[in-house]
Structure 1
Amino acid sequence: MSNLKSGTLLGHPKGLFLLFGTELWERFSYYAMRAILVLYLTDKTINGGLGWSTQDALNLYGIYTGLVYITPLIGGWIADNFLGQRRSIIIGGILMALGQFTLALPNSMVDPHSVTAFYLGLGLLIIGNGMFKPNISTMVGDLYQEGDNRRDGAFTIFYMGINLGSLLAGIIAGTASAAYGWKAGFLTAGIGMLISLVTQMVFAERLLGDIGKVPAAKRAAAMNKSGKQEPLTKQERDRLKVIMIMGLFVVIFWAGFEQAGGLMNIFSQQYTDRMIGSFEVPAAWFQSLNPFFVITLAPIIASIWVKMGPKEPSSPIKFAMGLFFLAAGFLCMIGAVMQQGGDITVKTSMMWLVGAYFFHTLGELCLSPIGLSMVTKLAPLRLASLMMGAWFGFNAIANYVAGIVGAQVGEAGPMAIFSGIAIAATIAGVLLLLCSNQLIRWMHGAEGKVVEDDVAEAQPVEA
């Protein structure tokens, strides 16, 4: 399904950079809205907020983010069986743009229609995201043939676009909201989604060719001589087992990583010395460290994977590395707590937080884009987008677990939480290393790697 007619750029198909730009502006739209959602809900001033309680706002936020990660399951299935990826992301993009502009409609705290329009906007965003999110990632994988060692690097570059959009979103939407009110922030999110749509619609035909046009199930049926949908083969079932097992480790990673927006955010606000001379660094600025590190480190990591060639680690090994880096980040947070010496009035160095975010980002780059790439390698063609949706479902579970873990800080204390996550991540990394050979066997050469004592078995399967 690779499209070579458009040529290459930096060693990758030019279509990759179109998908990079499309995803960048879609993620800008998403994170711009997310950055101001709770603030808008709880604002009781003339800026145009809805005046909700903090508890109600956070409850809605949790429901919204959970649905955002669940609906890609449905959107992936629809794309695989009926619409194809290209048509799905256009429909999803239109729905999300409509959702953002609906949120930008003028409102009043006492006008019941304002709340109705607000829920309508959220609903459009949730449905649109479900159509868009799994399919744009699947199309990145379709640019490369099976066994192409550029794929992991491609997803790392693609992942950089996600984080560049995130970095821009907080700055632009936050500035617009502060200057012109919350509705201006939602308006900028809608404009970002329009840019994403226009970029895709103008350049897709030239740079992507036929990629994403035909539903995966129809392509799989056409490749089958009988023309009928056959049951999953042993190889396909084995590969699906790898996706499911690796998904369990993904839950562990993100449950720890997502403390950045909760427990670590509170720690930066209450217990960190944020003074540089006479200037106090806003606690919210630490949230920009992760996308900043992703943008600066992603090209380096991508080039390392490509240069390693046949010696490039397999996905299970990269995942284990990601878990070890997560543990290293929480060792930094343990250092911060130890600096307090049991006295919560003591402010700790902000360098502990910088170190934690640095190691967490290294872990993210070893796991998140690699996971997206892995799903496109292992998922059967007719289930490609559905399995990408399932992969995002693991993120939904992780976000829920992260909330439960972070909420225990009042009873257990930050030291117990940080050390517990570090220990859990280390144990999970070791277990993954021990399982890696079996997981590679079940991949049946999808990454060009075969365990030595399994060569005889693997070769006939690939024949």
Structure 2
Amino acid sequence: MNNKVWGNPKGVFLVSGVELWERFSYYGMLGLLVLFLTANANTGGLQWSTETALKLMGIYSGFIFAAPAIGGWIANNYWGERKCIFYGGLLVTVGHLLLGGPVYFPYLIDLLSDEPISNLLLSSNISYETLFADKETLIQVSSLSLDQVTQYSWLVVGYHLKLWSFLIGLGLIVMGTGLIKPAVSSIINHFYAPGSKSRDSGFAFFMSSIYLGAFSANFVAGTLGEKLGWHAGFSAAALGMVVGITAYIIWQKKYLGDIGIEPQNPSKSRNEQPIKLSLEHKKRLALVVLMGVFTVIYAVAFYQKGGMLNLYTLNKVNRVVWGFEIPATWFLSISTGIFIVSAPYLVKLVAHKFPKIDAIYKLALGLICIGIAYSLLALGDVIGGDNEKVSILWIVLTYILFGLGDVLVWPAQISAAAALAPKHLTSFVVGAWYLTIGIGSWLTGYVGALSTEYSHLSLFVGISTACLFSATVLMLCYGSLSKLSGKVSL
């Protein structure tokens, strides 16, 4: 019985499918996050300031990509990859359901209190930036007065349930994602022998699954959230994760066999001396860290698409085509669509026609793509002027370059991290590598928040300069960096 599809084991496609639906849920929510946080309370939003919303998005995204370091350690030492995927999927599902709490819980309070709490919260001018609000605070930040509700304490309860159900939901998604991501990447790595030429192909399909989830999420969850209600988009994201974890439960034994059941470095057997890292291993890990520094810069630029660029598209870009106003979240799918279409073919083309272009060079080329993209945004902003909306062409070209940059960067970087890691620390190293994206995503919020103090043009020029300069440094240091990989093919 043939256990391969397109030259890759079927188990690769199973766990990639789990990642697809996890990313569907994540990106479906992420595309709506800043829009929901900054939306007026009378539309169901939390009415946060742009600066606070962008900073929360950065903190949240940072934790999302930092959590896999802990998840990888748990997989390596306690649960194994398989359990991490299962429990992570459950946490993500519950987390997304709680994101709909701002709608569901006020209606529950209506039933318990016999007061129109949900309508009062919608009709008021309440901003939900205060984490712990009392009656006096709500009176100050809203247009309500005490005589508008018999039991004002119920309004305080409704306020906190609406805010904290959402924040707790974000926290559960962080924990679940932290368990899933390193486990999936590690399992894929187990299917390939060291130095296998098929490794990049397997990781390219893995990344294509991520982007297929992201692509469809913006059209499904994003559209539902913008057009029908925020809770509809968040609930659609939860449904996606249910599909993914159900498929995993049904087919894991058939296609994964014994892979990932037992931890690779179980803590219970620590009576033995810990395995010491050789000088070769230390050099390889140093290369992972050094490439990670440049990945941070790439991530800061790339993940603006979920925050500052998403708001820029919503407010500054002329999105009307043939009388139809395109939802802002749809534009986020351009880069993902480019990745899905081009990744498997471009990876194979580079491997066969340009074998000397390794993960280090690909990272530099990816930074160049992003740098040029922000240069185009700057040009479009200059042409558009202060009082006119920017042509849709500029944001489309920008996201096309984002997609090409992703093809060059993410598959090669994840594959390199897994290949350079000592075998007994694969899950942990892959998880720790995600810290680079986490740091970049965290900084994204703070860099994006600068748009409230400086012009978009200044930010576009600054980010473009940083990316192009970093690419130049990376290429100049290529010889020294490549020596650290030893005999490992990147």
Query: Which residue is equivalent to 1:315?
Result: 359
Give the Cα separation in 1 of the matches to 2:383 and 2:175.
Answer: 46
Q: 1:34 to 1:79 in 2, by over 3 A?
A: same
Give the Cα separation in 2 of the matches to 1:54 and 1:324.
Answer: 29
Query: Which residue is equivalent to 2:279?
Result: 234
Query: Which residue is equivalent to 2:201?
Result: 153
Moved more, 356-365 or 402-411: 402-411
Give the Cα separation in 2 of the matches to 1:92 and 1:373.
Answer: 22
Matched, 1:185 2:229: no
Q: Where does the alignment leave 5 or more consecutive residues of structure 2 unmatched?
A: 107-120, 122-154
Moved more, 381-390 or 243-252: 381-390
Q: 1:176 to 1:21 in 2, by over 3 A?
A: same
SS in 2 for 1:295: helix
Matched, 1:372 2:420: no
SS in 2 for 1:148: coil
Query: Which residue is equivalent to 1:362?
Result: 404
Match of 1:70 among 57, 66, 79: 66
Match of 2:85 among 81, 85, 89: 89
Matched, 1:430 2:472: yes
**2:54–2:308 CA contact under 8 A, matched in 1:** no
Matched, 1:8 2:56: no
Per-residue deviation, 1:374: 0.8
Give the Cα separation in 2 of the matches to 1:347 and 1:179.
Answer: 22
Give the Cα separation in 1 of the matches to 2:411 and 2:357.
Answer: 14
Q: 1:425 to 1:181 in 2, by over 3 A?
A: closer
Matched, 1:330 2:378: no
The one-letter amino acid of 2:213's match is G
Give the Cα separation in 2 of the matches to 1:89 and 1:194.
Answer: 13
**2:88–2:180 CA contact under 8 A, matched in 1:** yes
The one-letter amino acid of 1:387's match is V
> For residues 254-307 of structure 1, what are the alpha-carbon distances to aligned partners after superposition, in whole Å with 9 as ceiling and x for unaligned?
112223234433443444444434444444432221112122222322332443
Query: Which residue is equivalent to 1:210?
Result: 258
SS in 1 for 2:195: coil
Give the Cα separation in 1 of the matches to 2:261 and 2:2.
Answer: 16
Match of 1:163 among 211, 214, 236: 211
Identical pairs, percent? 34
Moved more, 403-412 or 51-60: 51-60
Query: Which residue is equivalent to 1:107?
Result: 105
**1:25–1:196 CA contact under 8 A, matched in 2:** yes
The one-letter amino acid of 1:129's match is T
Per-residue deviation, 1:360: 1.9
**1:6–1:15 CA contact under 8 A, matched in 2:** no
Give the Cα separation in 2 of the matches to 1:409 and 1:50.
Answer: 20
Query: Which residue is equivalent to 1:28?
Result: 24
The one-letter amino acid of 1:31's match is Y
SS in 2 for 1:216: coil
Per-residue deviation, 1:218: 4.6
SS in 2 for 1:107: helix
Q: 1:282 to 1:124 in 2, by over 3 A?
A: closer
> For residues 6-56 of structure 1, what are the alpha-carbon distances to aligned partners after superposition, in whole Å with 9 as ceiling and x for unaligned?
622112122221122111111112222333344555566677655666665
SS in 2 for 1:408: helix
Match of 1:98 among 94, 98, 118: 94
Per-residue deviation, 1:71: 1.7
**1:150–1:306 CA contact under 8 A, matched in 2:** no
Matches within 5 A, 1:231-310: 231-308=276-353
Per-residue deviation, 1:160: 1.2
Q: Under a length normalisation based on structure 2, what TM-score does the superposition of the two structures give?
A: 0.81
Moved more, 36-45 or 22-31: 36-45
Per-residue deviation, 1:173: 2.1
**1:92–1:132 CA contact under 8 A, matched in 2:** yes
Give the Cα separation in 1 of the matches to 2:393 and 2:73.
Answer: 45
Q: 1:302 to 1:208 in 2, by over 3 A?
A: farther
Give the Cα separation in 2 of the matches to 1:98 and 1:275.
Answer: 36
Q: 1:322 to 1:60 in 2, by over 3 A?
A: closer
Per-residue deviation, 1:58: 4.6
**2:44–2:230 CA contact under 8 A, matched in 1:** yes
Matches within 5 A, 1:361-440: 361-409=403-451, 412-440=454-482
Per-residue deviation, 1:246: 0.2
Alignment RMSD = 2.9
Moved more, 82-91 or 435-444: 435-444
Q: 1:134 to 1:266 in 2, by over 3 A?
A: same
Aligned residues between the structures: 437
Give the Cα separation in 2 of the matches to 1:141 and 1:387.
Answer: 12
Q: Which has the higher contact order (CA 8 A, sep 6+)?
A: 2
The one-letter amino acid of 1:254's match is A
